[in-house]
Structure 1
Amino acid sequence: MAIALFAVGMGLVGDAAGLTAAPTTGQYFLRAAIHVHSTMSTGSFSLESLARRAEEQQLDVLILSENFTLRYDYGFQPLEGFLKYRVAFPSVMEYGVQRFLDEVRAVQDRHPNLIIIPGVEVAPHYYWTGSLLHGNLTMHNAQRNLLVIGLEKAEDYEHLPARGSAYSFVWGWQSVVNGVPLLLLVPAVWLWKSQDQRYSDWKGPVFRFRPVLAVSLLIACVVLMANAWPMRMPVYSSHDGTGGYRPYQALIDRAVERGALVFWSMTEARDFSQHSFGPLGTVTVKTEPHPDALVLTQDYTGFGGLYQDARRVIAPGGVWDQLLKSRMVHEQDMFPTLIGEVAFHGTTDPGKDLDRVYTVIQTSERTSAGILASLKTGRAYAVVRGDQNILLQLDEFRVLNNGQSAGIGETLHASTSGGIIVRVGVSAVDGKPYTAKLRIIRSGHIIREVEGQTPLQVELVDHEAQREEWVNYRVEVVGRGGELLTNPIYVSPTDSSDTNKSQRLAVRLGVVAQSRIARS
């Protein structure tokens, strides 16, 4: 029997720290800031400062998403391996992977009450269009990112397949082209060995032409080879935009193989900017919304469904609900988990702070392993802070049938008898009344909508659920108090075979009884 564990006590009201533990159930409800950058990449706060700030804001978990690599090359075809211009920004690869992990452990030791989980934000591929001559160079998909969370070893990070990570490069025909500058050694050596004193023009100074030319060729060889290093090349060319989601699937596969959780990041956020790239002139950097990534890739853990930007993926009947429906077969851990993304780099933007968007994670262990396991199975809900710093909290969300119950991320194995009961309770953290609209969504369809003042309590008996197929229930709350989105509770199909057996047995008993009556 799946026991409902997601009942947060009313002692939470007025004190967000009360989310941390629920002693009566043996479960922890931990507030996690996910997608956080420090000065180890593009953030403005050191990790130590972030840890202190998180504790001040009563957060329990800090999940980092440092930029993995921000190295961008523009190569001149077909010699792009060594005739190229590079721009680099602060990232984990620049900082040093082992140094990054050591810093996380050191800060964790100084803040034992805060759980810090390492992670990186990775854009596996980008590509160029336009012309340098025409001044319209455009770099695409530099912000098509995945969050890779929970890896603990440097080699696991170093071998993630992404442009800018030379460890993941491969040998190919382009590697041979990259070695072309080595041919300059042949004339350089010949010129050096066959030195011949030459005279310059009519001005008359004596000039050793061949040694100077030999040295010049040697310097050119060294410079070009250094630019081409490490000779190997990324699997996908930066001049080829036809790879689709193959580079992203390759990253997902490698990261999952190494034990990481992988989340698509802010798939509906649009990025457009223009930057000066030195000799390349003004370059346009553009990433279009890509919610289709959730459909066209597989085996990722989940996606950012709540963040400070427009989102339609989570709309009732939208992409998320369609994904849930298509994957609701037998493997619960394949359901994509929704998380909240704070995308924190600093406090320069108005209203931006660590606890502006967070994810409440239910776990039986207050450890990194317990948190990652809960995220993988979807035992979490996401919250974004509303006007006047109002925060919503989930007091209860259960699905019940015949004495059995399940909470978020769990599966209820319902019987054919009795109705499916859905119970939901939502309030504001400060306990005050605020207008909010609560929706109960079953498999993409809104089955109950309630608008009123917090706290809101709803109990629904769902007689219309299709009992012979997988069903999921999730909750959405919006209002002045911000927004709250839960991951689903799943209800498995009822086993009709038991009912059929009972019916056949009843028929046989009836036949036997009639036979006995006839004989008497």
Structure 2
Amino acid sequence: MRGQLMRKGSDKSDPYKRYIKKILGLTLIILLLSAPVIAKGQEELRYIPGIIHLHSKISTGAYSIKELAQITQAKGIPIMVITDHLLLRAEYGLSPFRRIIRKRVEKNSILRSGVKDYLSEIKEASKLYPSLTIIPGAEVTPFYFWSGDFLKNNLTLHNFHKQFLVLGLEKEKDYLKMPVAGNQCFSFSREKFLRLLASLILILLGLGMIKRKRKNKFWFRSRFFISSYPYRKSGIVLLILGLLFLFDSLLLSPDDPYHGEKNMQPYQNLINYVKERNGLSFWSAPEAKTEEKIRSIISSTLPYPEALLETKDYTGFASLYEGYRKVGGQEGIWDTVLTEYCRGERAKPVWTIGEIDYHSPREKKEIDEVQTVFLLSGIDKNSVIAALGEGRCYALRRTKEYQLMLNNFTLSLPRGKIGKIGDTLITETRPRINFSVSFSDGKRRKVNVKLIRSGKIIREFIGLTPMERRFYDYSLPEGEKSYYRLDIETEYPHKILTNPIFVKRK
């Protein structure tokens, strides 16, 4: 009876229990849906500082690669990218035998020292400092050209410092065959073909005239002579000229530096070459101006920010410290390029990095003054290269005493979807932008954070650190791909420039 009474009582309470269970279950589902959906491994992602664009004794630096590794590790930086000059060679030849009658100036470089030795030194330094990730790279000059006249003593060398940083190439042959100025082993050109053809014609004519027999009787001083090869001397002259032209043509660079600028084709050739080998290419110091005099020759490279618009498929550019005013600033060339990508006019976005271009302590700048800060879950070579290629990093400039710190920059969507630097999200409603900024020494300082959407400042936050903000963008256009990026500054020279987060609203 007691058991039956208990069962009867429980039967009466079942509807209430079922109702409570449904409420609890629904609440649990809502909580689960509202929890952030974090990509695999994202909970482990953290910002890791790195230094890009270092020169060693292999080219123009004062330190060996091992010494650079020691200095970098002492600074607490776990990532360094070595970019010695691939080739530092400029030469001028007198026409028509420019490759024979010439003057060459060459300094230490990777090709001069040996690619194999360069890569071996990096591997040895990596073994000596296992906690340091060292990435091999090269600084390259795709093209230069001359103006003026050697005989008039007014020669000018143009665009020798219009350069790229090439990263991620590990094979020796990829460096040896790279299409850069002064490297003779990489391609063919129409002019080279015509010069070779002219050389062969001269050689064949010369040989024909040398072998041609013709009896020619004539008197000279009461003597009778018979000449069997009357054209031999002329043939020898033509043969020598043909051989000289042939030798000169075989050594002729496909990008002739004697007839002005070649538009952007040499630079695009370099970009394509690196892309085909799964490497990364970054425009270096696009706003730098270089003027120097080497004896009687002037070397001049003007700023080239427009090069970012005129080339495609490169990985990115260095915004800090010589690429911010016209390129990286608000509504600058970078915003134009990113907008082209959002419109489908470019196949891939363009990312920014920080470069230090460090040679020696005589330059009066710290080796870690300009950094690229990576968003990584683990520190290894492949992860760093992937982060550079996918834009999971930001550019930072600091002083010796302290630095700005970006603790968070994400995009939140309904149902907890979160996007980080370099990501692309799709949404049907308004996104929420989250960021957090502080200083490494913990002090409170005034900071200015510009939130840029598709080239326009949509909100400016001015206040003291630590600063943490959440901003809902109610005006995001529908049916378009847009992007958000942060431009953070405080007392000069402190600055942060982030890569974008892309979002498309249906």
Q: TM-score range by the shorter chain?
A: 0.7 to 0.9
3-state SS in 2 of match to 1:264: strand
| CA distance in structure 2 between the aligned counterparts of 1:84 and 1:240, rounded to whole angstroms | 16
Aligned residue number for residue 53 of structure 1: 71
What amino acid maps onto 1:133 in structure 2?
A: L
Aligned residue number for residue 328 of structure 1: 342
Q: Does 1:114 align with 2:132?
A: yes
Aligned counterpart for 2:403 among listed residues 391, 409, 419:
391
Aligned counterpart for 1:261 among listed residues 258, 270, 280:
280
Is the 8 Å Cα contact of residues 446 and 462 (structure 2) preserved in structure 1?
A: yes
Give deviations 1:288-316, integer Å, cap 9, x for gaps. Answer: 11111111101100010111576321111
Aligned residue number for residue 231 of structure 2: none
Q: Aligned-pair distance for 1:37?
A: 0.6
Is the 8 Å Cα contact of residues 174 and 233 (structure 1) preserved in structure 2?
A: no
CA 1:84–1:492 in 2, change beyond 3 Å: closer, same or farther? same
Aligned counterpart for 2:268 among listed residues 242, 249, 252:
249
- Answer with 360-369 or 24-33: which moved more: 24-33
Aligned residue number for residue 425 of structure 1: 436
Give deviations 1:26-59, integer Å, cap 9, x for gaps. Answer: 2243211111110101111110100000101111
3-state SS in 2 of match to 1:312: helix
Residue correspondences, number: 435
Q: Aligned-pair distance for 1:332?
A: 9.7
Aligned residue number for residue 445 of structure 1: 456
| CA distance in structure 1 between the aligned counterparts of 2:38 and 2:300, rounded to whole angstroms | 45
Show the 5 A alignment for 1:411-422: 411-416=424-429, 419-422=430-433
What amino acid maps onto 2:271 in structure 1?
A: I
What amino acid maps onto 1:289 in structure 2?
A: P
Is the 8 Å Cα contact of residues 136 and 168 (structure 2) preserved in structure 1?
A: yes
| CA distance in structure 1 between the aligned counterparts of 2:39 and 2:458, rounded to whole angstroms | 24
Q: Aligned-pair distance for 1:103?
A: 1.0
- Answer with 432-441 or 85-94: which moved more: 432-441
Aligned counterpart for 2:367 among listed residues 343, 347, 354:
354
Aligned residue number for residue 238 of structure 1: 257
Is the 8 Å Cα contact of residues 438 and 476 (structure 1) preserved in structure 2?
A: yes
Is the 8 Å Cα contact of residues 41 and 92 (structure 1) preserved in structure 2?
A: yes
Give deviations 1:408-463, integer Å, cap 9, x for gaps. Answer: 111122123xx321111111111111222111111111111122222122211111
Is the 8 Å Cα contact of residues 31 and 359 (structure 1) preserved in structure 2?
A: yes
Give deviations 1:81-102, integer Å, cap 9, x for gaps. Answer: 2111111011111111111111
- Answer with 306-315 or 253-262: which moved more: 306-315
Show the 5 A alignment for 1:30-109: 30-109=48-127
Q: Aligned-pair distance for 1:269?
A: 0.5
| CA distance in structure 2 between the aligned counterparts of 1:237 and 1:453, rounded to whole angstroms | 56
| CA distance in structure 2 between the aligned counterparts of 1:332 and 1:246, rounded to whole angstroms | 18
Is the 8 Å Cα contact of residues 35 and 63 (structure 1) preserved in structure 2?
A: yes
Q: Aligned-pair distance for 1:132?
A: 1.5
3-state SS in 1 of match to 2:436: strand
Q: Does 1:473 align with 2:494?
A: no
Show the 5 A alignment for 1:264-283: 264-276=283-295, 282-283=296-297
| CA distance in structure 1 between the aligned counterparts of 2:137 and 2:423, rounded to whole angstroms | 26
Q: Aligned-pair distance for 1:475?
A: 0.5
Q: Aligned-pair distance for 1:366?
A: 2.0
Is the 8 Å Cα contact of residues 390 and 482 (structure 1) preserved in structure 2?
A: no
CA 1:5–1:38 in 2, change beyond 3 Å: closer, same or farther? farther
- Answer with 371-380 or 452-461: which moved more: 452-461
- Answer with 363-372 or 431-440: which moved more: 363-372
Is the 8 Å Cα contact of residues 137 and 283 (structure 1) preserved in structure 2?
A: yes
Aligned counterpart for 1:292 among listed residues 286, 297, 306:
306
3-state SS in 1 of match to 2:335: helix
What amino acid maps onto 1:458 in structure 2?
A: R
Q: Aligned-pair distance for 1:258?
A: 1.2
Is the 8 Å Cα contact of residues 400 and 412 (structure 1) preserved in structure 2?
A: no
3-state SS in 1 of match to 2:260: coil
What amino acid maps onto 1:35 in structure 2?
A: H
Is the 8 Å Cα contact of residues 293 and 299 (structure 2) preserved in structure 1?
A: yes
| CA distance in structure 2 between the aligned counterparts of 1:33 and 1:333, rounded to whole angstroms | 28
3-state SS in 1 of match to 2:471: strand
| CA distance in structure 2 between the aligned counterparts of 1:316 and 1:4, rounded to whole angstroms | 31
Is the 8 Å Cα contact of residues 81 and 177 (structure 1) preserved in structure 2?
A: no
3-state SS in 1 of match to 2:327: coil
Show the 5 A alignment for 1:109-508: 109-170=127-188, 172-175=193-196, 231-276=250-295, 282-307=296-321, 311-329=325-343, 334-350=348-364, 352-386=365-399, 389-402=401-414, 403-416=416-429, 419-480=430-491, 482-494=494-506
Is the 8 Å Cα contact of residues 362 and 380 (structure 1) preserved in structure 2?
A: yes
Is the 8 Å Cα contact of residues 28 and 366 (structure 1) preserved in structure 2?
A: no
| CA distance in structure 1 between the aligned counterparts of 2:77 and 2:59, rounded to whole angstroms | 22
What amino acid maps onto 1:445 in structure 2?
A: K
CA 1:443–1:310 in 2, change beyond 3 Å: closer, same or farther? closer
Aligned residue number for residue 517 of structure 1: none
Q: Percent identity?
A: 32
For structure 1, which runs of at least 5 residues remain unmatched after alignment?
A: 7-22, 190-216, 277-281, 495-520
TM-score of the pair, normalised by structure 1: 0.78
What amino acid maps onto 1:342 in structure 2?
A: I
CA 1:283–1:468 in 2, change beyond 3 Å: closer, same or farther? same
Is the 8 Å Cα contact of residues 145 and 261 (structure 2) preserved in structure 1?
A: no
| CA distance in structure 1 between the aligned counterparts of 2:362 and 2:268, rounded to whole angstroms | 34
Is the 8 Å Cα contact of residues 119 and 147 (structure 1) preserved in structure 2?
A: yes
Is the 8 Å Cα contact of residues 341 and 347 (structure 2) preserved in structure 1?
A: no
Q: Aligned-pair distance for 1:173?
A: 3.4
Question: Which consecutive segments of 4 or more residues in structure 1 shift more than 3 A?
Answer: 1-6, 173-183, 227-230, 329-333
Q: Aligned-pair distance for 1:80?
A: 0.9
CA 1:134–1:442 in 2, change beyond 3 Å: closer, same or farther? same
Q: Aligned-pair distance for 1:229?
A: 7.5
Aligned residue number for residue 279 of structure 1: none
CA 1:148–1:475 in 2, change beyond 3 Å: closer, same or farther? same
CA 1:106–1:181 in 2, change beyond 3 Å: closer, same or farther? farther
| CA distance in structure 2 between the aligned counterparts of 1:362 and 1:156, rounded to whole angstroms | 28
| CA distance in structure 1 between the aligned counterparts of 2:101 and 2:395, rounded to whole angstroms | 47
| CA distance in structure 2 between the aligned counterparts of 1:143 and 1:329, rounded to whole angstroms | 32
